[in-house]
A and B are shown apart, each in its own frame.
Chain A
Amino acid sequence: MTKYTYTEKKDTRSGFGAGLLEAGKRNPKVVALCADLVGSLKMQDFINAFPERFVQVGIAEANMMGIAAGMTIGGHVPFTGTFANFSTGRVYDQIRQSIAYSDKNVKICASHAGLTLGEDGATHQILEDLGMMKMLPGMTVINPCDYNQTKAATIAIAEHHGPVYLRFGRPVVPIFTPADQVFEIGKAWMVSEGTDVTIIATGHLVWEAIQAGEQLEAMGISAEIINIHTIKPLDEEAILKSVSKTRCVVTAEEHNRLGGLGDSVAQVLIKNLPAPQEYVAVNDSFGESGTPEQLMQKYKLNAPAIVEAAQKAIQRKG
């Protein structure tokens, strides 16, 4: 399988901060809003460069979503920043009516997604956001996997017209995608080709999938690894092409197994190419306090869990 190494680890939220600054340089209409979490969202560089294009709304996320929607009128491209929980569940109706249904060009940028916020516990973690956002008609949903991909995605969504949910996280994770990549919304990235099982991963689980692929290779199993960074619109063609070859699939995501990437993939397969599928996802529960590593282990969101799921999927092929 294709080898991936890294020399540096960084948080994906810093990729967002760097991408936001770059998007701001490229387009003077890009504006940023934050609900009292500038440091956590890494928005300070943008604020330093473009102080007049930043809106601090205070701890008032509903108001932030409405203001962002209003700012699109007149041609601005607003990026909102807060934790994923407060970017989605807290303001679902504001997003639904004022942004999605109104087709406003707002970029909802959400950090601390999934379990890997860690010690703060379930009130600040969220495992339902992908589901909520992908159910909104017209919403593009993106969950990049490392610093470079997050930066590239941030720049790309500024150039895309329409509402976008961009989800990223807090822990430092290996940087293994190219710094000079061009991010294509809705296009899967073939991480490594294989023949026995397709592993489809998003976000922090992509690096885990690569680790799993190496372990499987050592066991004589050839895994094809695909990174789906855009959960909606989904690259159905890439999924079907791979599964038509491997005939079984593992989906891996830092999300509830209900409503996430796994369900999106399952819908594609059911309709076109029924195949055994194993979910690596949280089994319909809330998170809890702990270090990110402890949580990923306890909730089985790591390389060993992907290896086990791959073996199961292959067995089910019969």
Chain B
Amino acid sequence: MTQDISELKNIASQVRRDVVRMVHGCQSGHPGGSLGCTDYLVALYFSIMKNDPSFNMDGVGEDLFFLSNGHISPVFYSVLAHASYFDKAELGTFRKLDSRLQGHPTTHEGLPGIRMASGSLGQGLSVGIGAALSKKLNGDDRLVFTLHGDGELQEGQIWEAAMFAPHNRVDNLIATVDVNGQQIDGPTKVVLSLGDLRAKFEAFGWEVMEMQGNDMALVVEGLQKAIGLSGKGKPVMILMQTEMGAGVDFMMGSHKWHGVAPNDAQLQQALDQLQETLGDY
């Protein structure tokens, strides 16, 4: 646990290196969203959450995190490894045969840190609500965090869950949407507009806040603010503005790098922009 922003930035730089190396190593996976959400996940696991890397599925007395947009598994795996859930050498097995680091996160292979399979979109908010209800029944006052893609909000189940949480005062839940405005087929506003997300979630009864997701100091500050908003009868929704591909200039500003791996030259070009701070796996 640290509040030192420069230390968090160092971790984020290494995580971004891991992300592009993992995706390059198997020539598949999703670098764009992973890079965009790196600062959020690093802040969560190294500054915000109370969590135990010795890992117990029930997580009683711990803050829990659920990744709903499972395709950004590279950043999740790298963060878990650096948080000591498993050895970072295992990152090299990503998406390869017999690996615990499946293309999308799963509990099936027993990878510490993963509590729910995700990848088929739209399911993680319901799961997070369930875990939050379980905490309330257990008298456990820790929090549940979830992360979703903005394109994922096109799934209907999200809105079933969005309706449920305020009605049932699930106020130990902090959901975050990665608003990068991109999805596989193009800009979200072209594929299927999400409209005014703040107005939509507020109309459902959520406490909504916005956060810049690629400035570490603002991410830490934003997550702390969200924690301050929890426990007051409403679920909390963070609309997190990010840049897909953040940290690697040629991967930014387009949906092109949603699910494409860099070639050898592109890998080198990316690594030249990301300082090796904690040692490559």
Contact = CB atoms under 8 A, between A and B. Distances in A.
Interface of A: 31, 52-53, 55, 57-58, 60, 62-76, 78, 93-94, 96-98, 101-104
A38 B199 CA distance: 33
Contact of B123 (A66, A72, A74): A66
Given A57-B160, A70-B134, 17 more contacts: A57-B164, A63-B161, A63-B164, A66-B123, A67-B133, A70-B130, A71-B133, A72-B130, A73-B116, A74-B58, A76-B134, A78-B130, A97-B117, A98-B127, A101-B108, A102-B116, A103-B107
Interface residues of B, number: 39
21 contacts: A31-B137, A58-B163, A60-B164, A66-B126, A66-B130, A66-B157, A69-B130, A70-B116, A70-B126, A70-B130, A73-B57, A74-B134, A74-B135, A74-B138, A75-B138, A97-B118, A97-B123, A98-B116, A98-B117, A98-B126, A102-B107
A63 B57 contact: no
B194 to A, nearest CB: 19
Contact of A55 (B106, B115, B133, B156): B133
B126 A73 contact: no
Contacts of A62: 122-123, 126, 156-157, 160
Nearest to A65: B126
A78 B66 CA distance: 19
B140 to A, nearest CB: 7
B193 interface: no
Interface string B108-125: 100000011111101111
Contacts of A52: 137
A71 B127 CA distance: 8
Contacts of A70: 66, 116, 126-134
B131 A73 contact: yes
A57 B106 CA distance: 26
B253 interface: no
B137 A66 contact: no
Contact of A103 (B66, B108, B125, B128): B108
Contact of B129 (A67, A94, A102): A67
Contacts of A65: 126
Contacts of A73: 57-59, 64, 115-116, 130-131, 134
Nearest to A93: B120
A216 B7 CA distance: 81
Given A63-B160, A63-B161, A76-B137, A71 B120 contact: no
Nearest to B167: A58
Contact of A102 (B60, B117, B134, B140): B117
Nearest to B116: A102
Q: Which 3 residue pairs of A and B lie closest in terms of their CB atoms, listed nearest first?
A: A70-B130, A66-B126, A74-B134
B156 to A, nearest CB: 7
A74 B164 contact: no
Given A57-B164, A60-B163, A66-B157, A74 B116 contact: no
A74 B118 contact: no
Contacts of A76: 134, 137
Nearest to B162: A63
A58 B161 CA distance: 11
A74 B157 contact: no
A94 B161 CA distance: 13
A104 B115 CA distance: 10
Contacts of A31: 137
Contacts of B107: 101-103
Given A68-B130, A102-B116, A74 B140 contact: yes
A99 to B, nearest CB: 9
Contacts of B64: 73
Contacts of B119: 97
Contact of A74 (B66, B117, B131): B131
A301 to B, nearest CB: 35
A67 B168 CA distance: 12
A202 B136 CA distance: 40
Contacts of A58: 160, 163-164
Nearest to A76: B134
Contacts of B58: 73-75
A31 B134 CA distance: 10
Contact of B117 (A53, A57, A68, A101): A101
